Amino acid sequence: MTNEEISYRLLRKIQQMEKNTPVLTDLDNDFYTNIEKYFLDLNAYLKSESDEHKKKLLDEEIENTKKIITNIYEQREKKILLTAISKARSGNPDLKIMVGVERAFFDSILNLINTFRESILERKTIDEKKVEQQQEIKKITEENKIDENKNKINILENSNLNPISRVIKDMPNFIGTDAKSYTLKKNDVVSLPEDMQEMLSKRKVVEKLEL
């Protein structure tokens, strides 16, 4: 089908082949450019023709040719769309018989399909990964907090004889019975004077740790 001069007869032949085959007809790479040139020639011929009868026939031929070309394009367009879907679903369609402008159309459609598929089908996987990452971060944070509290307990146990407590409720800055300033935050491990520890324990601010 390549290197043939565009004519009404050739276009009809291509139209029938596109209609009767599930794959693209093998066309010259300059097919659409040659069609444009063919129309220019027809219109130039129409303008130069003085015989009204011949002008009418030429005008009809031009209109019929436009319909045939539109039909050829629409059939090829449908096949290209189906080819892109096949490729997106891991198929292996033959891409060599697309003419230049059609390959660009195919590539843009394939990219759009792949982007949409990823945004829909892989969203759940992405969300699951985010949840797993958040859970892992939370786990590491909690483990670090436990290790930090253990170290505090060891330090406090070895440095003084005051009771060691865990803060179970935030407490804004206040002056303790030992005249020192304290700010207690939930889950902190602290060493407090025994009388202050008992008072805060009754108020459900701290709980004594049994070592």
Among the residue ranges 3-12, 149-158, 192-201, the one predicted with the least confidence is 149-158
Percentage above 90 pLDDT, the chain: 30
| Averaged pLDDT, 103-114 | 92
> Are 100 and 59 within one domain?
yes
Residue 72's CB is within 10 A of a number of other CB atoms, namely 22
Q: What is the mean pLDDT of residues 42-68?
A: 88
The 8-class DSSP code of residue 49 comes to: -
Q: Identify whether residues 156 and 197 lie together within a single domain.
A: yes
Q: Is residue 3 part of a domain?
A: no
128 in a structural domain: no
- Do 110 and 152 fall within a single domain? no
89 and 49 both lie in a single domain: yes
Residue scoring higher pLDDT (31 or 136): 31
Confidence of residue 83 (pLDDT cuts 50, 70, 90): very high
Domain presence at residue 98: yes
Segment 139-196, tens digit of pLDDT: 666 655 655 655 555 545 554 557 778 888 888 888 877 778 888 888 888 878 888 8
Task: Dig out the tokens for 138 from the structure.
Answer: 């939370």
Q: Which residues, 6 or more positions from 93, have their beta carbon under 8 angstroms from its beta carbon?
A: 83, 86, 87
Answer yes or no: is 1 within a domain: no
**Residue 208's beta-bridge partner residues?**
165
Amino acid at 143: E
pLDDT of residue 127: 63
Pair (101, 145) in one structural domain? no
Domain assignment of residue 131, yes or no: no
Give the pLDDT score at 152. Answer: 57
CATH number of 162's domain: 3.40.5.50
Structural domain including 107 reads 8-121
Give the separation between CA 77 and CA 83, rounded to whole angstroms. 10
210: pLDDT confidence band, cut at 50, 70 and 90?
A: low
This prediction has a pTM of 0.55
Ordered alpha helix ranges (H), the chain: 8-20, 31-48, 52-88, 100-121, 123-159, 194-202
Return left, alpha or beta for 58; rule: phi > 0 is left, psi -120 to 50 is alpha, else beta: alpha
Residues 36, 114, single domain; the answer is yes
Whole-angstrom distance, CA of residue 57 vs CA of residue 64: 11
Residues 100 and 18 in one domain: yes
Report the 10 Å Cβ neighbour count for 102: 22
Overall domain count for the chain: 2
pLDDT given for residue 17 in this prediction: 94
Contact predicate 145/138, CB 8 Å: no
| Residue 189 neighbours by CB distance under 10 Å | 19
Residue that terminates a domain, selected from 93, 121, 149: 121
Position 198 in a domain: yes
Q: What average pLDDT does range 67-75 have in this prediction?
A: 94
Distance of alpha carbon 20 from the chain centroid: 37
Residue 211 confidence (pLDDT): 54
Is the pLDDT assigned to residue 109 strictly greater than 90?
Answer: yes
What's the residue count for the chain? Answer: 211
pLDDT score recorded for residue 169: 87
Q: Give me the residues paired with residue 174 across strands.
A: 182
CATH code of the domain covering residue 106: 1.20.58.1030
In a domain, 127, yes or no: no
Residue 80 is predicted with a pLDDT of: 95
Backbone angles phi, psi at 192, to 5 degrees: -125, 150
Residue environment code for 130-153, b if the CB has 16+ CB neighbours within 10 A, otherwise e: eeeeeeeeeeeeeeeeeeebeebb
Q: Check whether residue 160 and residue 85 sit in a common domain.
A: no
